[in-house]
Structure 1
Amino acid sequence: MLDAEFDSYVGEYAAQHAQSIRLSGETPGYFAEYKIRELARMARGWGYSDPQILDFGSGMGNSLPGLRKYFPGSKISAADVSAQSLAAAQRLHGAREAQLLIGAGGIPAPDGSFDISFTACVFHHIPEAEHLRWLSELRRVTRPGGRLVIFEHNPLNPLTRHAVRICPFDANAVLIGSGEMRARMVAAGWDAPKVDHHVFFPRALARLRGLENALRWCPLGGQYAAYAQRG
């Protein structure tokens, strides 16, 4: 996590990402926005209107357009170990959000700073031995009663495994099953984690996407969201 390995991919990230998901028929922007749309649905269900949100592992700011669209009144903080990625995010999206450079000491934010800590496809890049530490650190910076939402690739989905296998910046990725992710969240002190599954249909079958809400229970989607509350 602290090696800032993505510094070396900043220039090629967009093209490599688009190539790796080519079989889906979608763009990286499609996948970034669906996550934030789901996050907004969850936030409404939890009673939030303008929550303070941490984007942990924000990279080059792929989630920022969606966060601005679906949470226009929220204070967003982007946090990453890669200084070059944070700088690229500012060039691409402007400097409206606070930027936090994660170092050896953890996330540079006081205890209980955020209503929602959100992270999108980050934990499969973090060495598994460090997962408990970072899940605990996310708990520290989340307010009591606040939420953690983790989107991750689903290793049970063959198209997801293919996309990860051919993507250069996923060379060191280790995919995490949803059950294992929930167990790690519990070990870090998060309460009663749950999982929703997403991304069942490629663009060629987009007419079937209206069924996806009814398929959240099915563990075969391309990605999943694991979410829990801080007690």
Structure 2
Amino acid sequence: MSGLAKMKQPGCPALCAAKQAVRKRRDSRNPLVRLGVSILYALWKGAQSVFRFCTDANYRSILLLRLTKGGKIHQTTPTTGMDRYPAIFSACRDYFADRPDLKILSFGCSTGEEVLTLRKYFPHAHIIGADVNRRSLAACRRLPVDERVRFVYSSPKQISENGPYDAIFCMAVFQRTPQLVTAKGMESLHKIYPFERFERQVTELDGLLNPQGLLVVHYSQYSLEDTAVSFQYKALGQYDQEDYKASVFDRNSRLVKSPPSRNSVFIKQGQDT
């Protein structure tokens, strides 16, 4: 258990008693007392953040990412797991009918579990995992993978150099603090994650996808069907995002209060050369 976790446990009676005393004075009629409580609360939260920054490498990597690249990136939390979307992965495997020469991009691969999962569904494919979190990439590069798997920093240059691709998976990438956004009832994402950023990224990926290739956009706050490149795509099957519990937004970055069913798997139209 970390030091921060211990501090939060009932085993610190003096600290808990102090916090309770401060809480009781939040609604004091004395404005100076209320001001003092606000200052103490801010100092306490700041101390917690500093402590966590110094002791939690994962938290530190996320915070640095938000501070240095927050205006350019999408999801910052590296939450992942093995085989999280079996129905979608199976449908994509069946679409390609075991074609051996596939090149696949896992866009936002986090610590590599998605790449390991894709290898099980596509045993002969070349798989590129890309992520902006360098700590996550370091974890990826420690994985026992074969010579057809490669992990790269998620920059336009490196992703482009390893393309073009037959399938691009963007799983739970195109979203920003979705639980917090939903809990707060936010009606616009314009300030923290505007639609234009999503559309720009989708357009870049579209330029790296071969005709008849698959673009998978799943668990997203925005819809591919709202982008300027949507006319080039048709949905594969009925793989939707009905179980996505977070708020979704339109091309104006405004909340969609009764969102229609949104597809996740798309085929790029055109002749495959």
Same fold (TM over 0.5): yes
TM-score calculated relative to the size of structure 2:
0.50
1:45-124 mapped onto 2 (5 Å cutoff): 48-94=99-145, 96=147, 97-103=149-155, 105=156, 107-110=158-161, 113-124=164-175
TM-score calculated relative to the size of structure 1:
0.58
Q: Which protein has the bigger strand share?
A: 1
Contact persistence 1:60–1:85 (CA under 8 A): yes
1:194-213 mapped onto 2 (5 Å cutoff): 194=235, 196-197=238-239
1:1-231 mapped onto 2 (5 Å cutoff): 2-3=69-70, 13=79, 28-44=81-97, 48-94=99-145, 96=147, 97-103=149-155, 105=156, 107-110=158-161, 113-125=164-176, 127-152=194-219, 175-176=221-222, 180-184=223-227, 187-188=228-229, 191-194=232-235, 196-197=238-239, 224-231=263-270
Task: Give the paired residue count.
Answer: 167
State the alpha-carbon separation in 2 of the partners of residues 52 and 81 from structure 1. 20
Contact persistence 1:122–1:152 (CA under 8 A): yes
Q: Which has the higher contact order (CA 8 A, sep 6+)?
A: 1
Deviation at 1:130, TM superposition (A): 0.6
What percentage of residue pairs aligned between the two structures are identical? 23
Q: Which has the larger Rg? A: 2
C-alpha offsets along residues 74-116 of structure 1, whole Å, 9 cap, x if unaligned? 000011111111112233454752122123x455324852111
The residue type equivalent to 2:268 in the other structure is Q
Would you identify which runs of 4 or more consecutive aligned residues in structure 1 move more than 4 Å?
A: 4-7, 92-96, 198-201
State the alpha-carbon separation in 2 of the partners of residues 100 and 65 from structure 1. 15
* Partner-residue secondary structure (3-state), 1:123: coil
* Partner-residue secondary structure (3-state), 1:109: helix
* Partner-residue secondary structure (3-state), 2:266: strand
C-alpha offsets along residues 29-74 of structure 1, whole Å, 9 cap, x if unaligned? 3524443223212322xx8444111111111112122211111110
State the alpha-carbon separation in 1 of the partners of residues 99 and 146 from structure 2. 25
State the alpha-carbon separation in 2 of the partners of residues 193 and 107 from structure 1. 28
* Partner-residue secondary structure (3-state), 1:31: coil
The unaligned stretches of length 5 or more in structure 2 are: 1-65, 177-192, 244-259
Alignment match, 1:159: none
The 1:117–1:95 alpha-carbon spacing in structure 2 relative to 1, beyond 3 Å, is: same
Shifted more, 79-88 versus 142-151: the winner is 142-151
C-alpha offsets along residues 146-166 of structure 1, whole Å, 9 cap, x if unaligned? 33122225xxxxxxxxxxxxx
The residue type equivalent to 2:214 in the other structure is R
The 1:150–1:5 alpha-carbon spacing in structure 2 relative to 1, beyond 3 Å, is: closer
C-alpha offsets along residues 151-204 of structure 1, whole Å, 9 cap, x if unaligned? 225xxxxxxxxxxxxxxxxxxxxx23xxx43122xx136513316235889xxx
The 1:224–1:146 alpha-carbon spacing in structure 2 relative to 1, beyond 3 Å, is: closer
Contact persistence 2:234–2:266 (CA under 8 A): yes
Shifted more, 138-147 versus 70-79: the winner is 138-147
Alignment match, 2:13: none
The 1:191–1:198 alpha-carbon spacing in structure 2 relative to 1, beyond 3 Å, is: closer
Shifted more, 121-130 versus 52-61: the winner is 121-130
